[in-house]
Amino acid sequence: MNAKLLRLTALPCLALAVAAAADTAPEHHLLASGAALKWGAPPPMLAAGAKFAVLDGDPAAKGNVTARLMMPAGYSIAPHWHPTDEHVTVLAGTLSVGMGDTLDKTHATTLKTGGYAVVPANIHHYAFTRTGATIQLHLQGPFGLTYVNPADDPSQSAKK
């Protein structure tokens, strides 16, 4: 009797899990060589000087996004937050990441090539590189970035 009840309960749960996984499964496969990436200017909310490439997804639309950001030596991103979780992998160079409302280079953690960070949604953080870095970002679109201090937003200073 208990085995029959277990089967009757487990089957609908399994069906729901499969249906949920199907909703998040990619609709296509993607194989891309690094040489094939199309690097361009970063989104307007990031300072000039970096290069940006979208590997998969649309940063302006809802859904999974994978992108890369190549930052020159001395590049920094002032304290900010995102509406969704941000996953960062350091592909080359070193990236320093700190938490809080003030860019404090003495309280940041430096990640070397292969380093990984996850910053949950709405957590105030900042990043900088002394030597240059290329990072890969995994996030949920639409991509959003809000600076703690609006005066730090390069897209706002460009409008003035």
Query: Between vectors from CA 155 to CA 152 and to CA 159, what angle results, nearest 5°?
Result: 110
CA distance 91 to 116: 9
Domain at 130, CATH number: 2.60.120.10
Task: pLDDT band for 138, please (50, 70, 90 cuts).
Answer: very high
CA distance 31 to 123: 32
Task: pLDDT band for 26, please (50, 70, 90 cuts).
Answer: low
111 occurs within a structural domain: yes
8 occurs within a structural domain: no
Q: What is the pLDDT of residue 30?
A: 58
139 occurs within a structural domain: yes
Q: What is the mean pLDDT of residues 66-93?
A: 98
Q: What is the mean pLDDT of residues 63-77?
A: 98
Q: What is the pLDDT of residue 20?
A: 43
Of the spans 34-43, 93-102, 149-158, which averages the highest pLDDT?
A: 93-102
CA distance 36 to 19: 34
> Rounded to two decimals, what is the model's pTM?
0.79
Residue 152 has pLDDT above 80, yes or no: yes
Q: What is the pLDDT of residue 25?
A: 53
Q: Tell me the per-residue pLDDT of 122-131, one tens digit each, with 9 for 90 and over.
A: 999 999 999 9
Q: What is the pLDDT of residue 142?
A: 94
26 occurs within a structural domain: no
Structural domain including 98 reads 38-157
Q: Could you give the number of structural domains in the chain? A: 1
19 occurs within a structural domain: no
Q: What is the mean pLDDT of residues 47-52?
A: 97
74 occurs within a structural domain: yes
- When computed from its CA atoms, the radius of gyration of the chain, rounded to whole angstroms, is 20
CB environment 123-159: b (16+ within 10 A), e (fewer): ebbbbbbeebbbbbbbbbbebebebbeeebbbeeeee
For 8, the 3-state DSSP assignment is: helix
Q: What is the pLDDT of residue 29?
A: 66
Cβ count near 109 (within 10 Å)? 11
Percent of the chain with pLDDT over 90: 74
14 occurs within a structural domain: no
128 occurs within a structural domain: yes
